[in-house]
Amino acid sequence: MDPDLILLLNGIVSGLLLGGLYAAAATGLAVSFGMLDIVNIAHPALMVMGAFTVVLIGTALGLDPLLVAVLQAPLFYLLGVLIYGVYHHFFEKRGEEALQGLAFFFGVMFIIEVGLVMAFGPEQRFLDPPYAFITWRLGEIDLPLRMLAPALLALAALGALHLYLKRSFTGLAVAAVAQDAEALRLMAVNPVRIKRLAFGLSVALASIAGGALVVVQPVDPSSGQIFIGRVFAICIMGGMASLPGCLTAALLFGVVENVTATFYGPSWSPAVAFGWLLLVLAFRPQGLFGRMA
């Protein structure tokens, strides 16, 4: 086969795998930003914090990073509940989400990032599971397990979340709170309780995404910054509150970014994220598949 074509095919396949990681990172945001209308810009920072705790626990106990990520998710759920409690009490209830609420999450992001620098130092951390060095080959196409395993975990988490939102009573209530919190109140369901639960879930997803991240690449305290553009672009492009839309957008995004990196060099990939975000905001703010909000 033509070497350029092989390069392109490999770029697409590993882009899809990378897209799995992005899906994990963006799903939590689709819940908090898309469904609950909480602009959690600290989400990528929470993900990086998850990655650091995975490294810490995984190294201490000798456990697999993806397993640790899932095991620590309940703790992150509680953290999310706590953050939402503060946010609701001081900002949402007073109707001051716009300026003060944004500043609050920016402060949280900053505290996490600088806190990680103080606790762990600015250098990169990694935790390689044994399968990280294995690569399956399908003909000319490489399937590195370092990318495949996190992508599969991300898909599993996304699928579980999707089922939960579509099938369970509380899951449906989360979708309902996204549409009309007042109506939910009239049905004798407390929208604040539902939002607290959903925000906790979104932070738990950040923990899982953090575990996936640390398998794919080494992390440092400021790794979250570059993810801000990516996850918000994906979330908006996917139509904000739609999980299938989010997954599709994430896979597409992974492919475009990876193919750009393959042919033009990896230093340009942040520019892809930002350019894409701007284009989406300028031309299709309702997302690729979505209706106008």
Contacting positions for other proteins (CB under 8 A): 39, 41, 86, 90-91, 94, 96, 98-100, 102-104, 106-108, 110-111, 113-115, 117-118, 222, 225-226, 228-229, 232, 236, 267-268, 270-271, 273-275, 277-278, 281-282, 285
**C-beta closer to other proteins: residue 70 or 192:** 192
Min CB(135)–other proteins separation in Å: 29
CB of 67 to other proteins, least distance (A): 31
Helix (H) or strand (E) run with residue 143 in it: strand 141-144
Complex with other proteins: residue 115 or 218, whichever CB lies closer: 115
- Tokens coding 193: 């309780």
Q: Give the shortest CB-34-to-other proteins separation in angstroms.
A: 12
Distance CA 164, CA 140 (A): 38
Quote the least distance from Cβ 89 to other proteins, whole Å: 8
Q: Least CB distance from residue 32 to other proteins, whole Å?
A: 12
Alpha carbon distance 239, 27 (integer Å): 12
3-state secondary structure of 2: coil
β-bridge partners, 143:
136
Residue 180 tokens read as: 């009309």
CA–CA separation, 68 and 53 (whole Å): 9
- Compare residues 210 and 229 and give the one whose CB is closer to other proteins: 229
Amino acid identity at 82: L
Q: Give whichever of 3 and 265 is closer to other proteins, judged by the CB atom.
A: 265
Instruction: State how far the alpha carbon of 156 is from the alpha carbons of 28, 65, 163, 193, in Å.
Output: 14, 16, 11, 26
What DSSP designation does 130 have? G
**Which residue's CB is nearer to other proteins, number 164 or number 274?**
274
